[in-house]
């Protein structure tokens, strides 16, 4: 437990050093491969440690990882969708842009209040390739 707390502090310091002084802009959502939506109130990697029991119940082997970024990468590679709310724009990271990931994004679009906002959906390791769609547009995939 002491190592987890130390890692949380190190992650927070790293984010602050990168110029992100307003951590509330770094919130968002995780969507499990089965469509379970989990609100993120801090960075995505910190969230995995602070709510480890929630993620364990959803099949994430939290204790397997020593680094939050490794855990984030594992989740994305295993079908999770990472949504980041950056204040003036939204990004969604998926491993593969396919029917399952689009259906999960459509589930999220149902609960997200501002249907006019645009979402940049990026495939992991796609070297900058992304698509841009409104939240309302995601609803057509549901």
pLDDT tens-digit series, residues 16-71? 444 444 434 448 999 999 999 999 988 888 888 888 899 999 999 988 888 888 88
Of the pLDDT bands very low, low, confident and very high (cuts 50, 70, 90), residue 125 is low
> What is the per-residue pLDDT for 92?
96
> What is the per-residue pLDDT for 16?
44
What does the angle CA 31 – CA 36 – CA 42 come to, to the nearest 5 degrees? 50
Q: Which of 14, 18, 43 minimizes the C-alpha distance to 28?
A: 43
| pLDDT above 90 for 77 | yes
b/e for 5-20, b at 16 or more Cβ within 10 A?
eebbeebeeebeeeee
Supply φ then ψ for residue 134, to 5 degrees.
-75, 160
> What is the per-residue pLDDT for 15?
45
């Amino acid at each position: 437990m002491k190592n987890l707390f130390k890692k949380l502090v190190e992650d927070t310091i790293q984010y602050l050093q990168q110029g992100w002084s307003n951590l509330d802009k770094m919130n968002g959502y995780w969507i499990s491969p089965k469509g379970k939506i989990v609100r993120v109130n801090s960075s995505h990697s910190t969230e995995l440690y602070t709510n480890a029991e929630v993620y364990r119940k959803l099949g994430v082997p939290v204790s397997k990882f020593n680094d939050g970024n490794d855990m984030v990468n594992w989740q994305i590679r295993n079908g999770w969708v990472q949504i980041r709310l950056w204040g003036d724009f939204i990004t969604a990271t998926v491993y593969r842009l396919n029917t399952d990931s689009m259906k999960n994004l459509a589930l999220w679009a149902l609960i997200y209040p501002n249907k006019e906002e645009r979402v940049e959906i990026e495939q992991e390791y796609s070297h900058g390739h992304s698509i841009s769609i409104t939240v309302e547009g995601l609803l057509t995939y549901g």
